[in-house]
Amino acid sequence: MQALIIEAQDDTPRVILDKENNMFELSGKSLPEDVLKFYQPVYEWLNQYILSPNDETIFKLKIDYFNSASHKAINYMLEILAEIQQKGKKVEVKWHYLTEDEDMLETGHDFEELTGLKFDFIGYV
């Protein structure tokens, strides 16, 4: 399966989806003008990945800021990962957040509760 790598721009996050090297990451800011257009390739890749996922998937999320449309997009991505977990594979989300950003920490807890995925919360300065 070919990796999907999208470099960050001013208003879009860096995306690394690489099954072969077991690297799954979304980092930066997510404020795309057209959320569906930006995230569509990500959804397509993940929907292919769930057909034959790795035994363990560790998804790193280090989003500094995202708008409400991106919130929905991230939630959908996490729901796809939850499907992998339902197939008996190990899935963990590493949720990185600025230590002073209590809202982002709370959002991570909300996503964890909504999806049933195991989150590892990692604060940074």
pLDDT in tens, 65-74: 999 999 999 9
Q: Where are the alpha helices (DSSP H) in 50-101?
A: 68-86
Q: What is d(CA 50, CA 110) in angstroms, rounded to the nearest whole number?
A: 23
CATH topology of domain 4-124: Transcription Regulator spoIIAA (3.30.750)
Q: In this predicted structure, what is the pLDDT of residue 86?
A: 95
Share of the chain above pLDDT 90, in %: 100
Q: Residue 38, Cα to own-chain centre: how many angstroms?
A: 14
Nearest to 97 by CA among 120, 71, 113: 120
Q: What is the pLDDT of residue 125?
A: 92
For 2-48, write each residue's pLDDT tens digit. Answer: 999 999 999 999 999 999 999 999 999 999 999 999 999 999 999 99
